[in-house]
Amino acid sequence: MEYVYAAMLLNKAGKDVSADALTKTLSAAGVSVDEARVKATAAALADVDINKVIEETQLASASASAAPAASADTAEESPAEEKQEKQEASEEDVSEGLGALFG
């Protein structure tokens, strides 16, 4: 993850996300640098607009956060309905039980 964080830091600072810049950033943070991972990260992010990805991710997480709120409303209604159904069922059980006593 620190490689991605370094790339995001470089992007935020307006710097080019290159292998050399990633190496310097990671070294400055005291991270043991793996050159293969640095090169792979730089190559993977070469054609990626990091700002656009961050924006899309924020929009997706905002809409995902809104969905459970709607489910919570439904969940709040369900216990009341279940309670009413249980009460009706228990009244029916009592009626059936008494009827069975008198045959």
Q: From the first residue on, what is the mean pLDDT of each consecutive set of 10 residues in the chain (103 residues)?
A: 94 94 96 96 92 87 67 58 65 58 56
Residue 61: predicted pLDDT: 77
Residue 58: predicted pLDDT: 84
Residue 9: predicted pLDDT: 95
Name which of 2, 4, 1, 3 is nearest 53 in CA terms.
4
Distance CA 24, CA 30 (A): 10
pTM over 0.75: no
CA dihedral 54, 72, 74, 83 (to 10 degrees): 160
Domains and CATH numbers, the chain: 2-101 (1.10.10.1410)
Residue 54: predicted pLDDT: 86
Residue 25: predicted pLDDT: 96
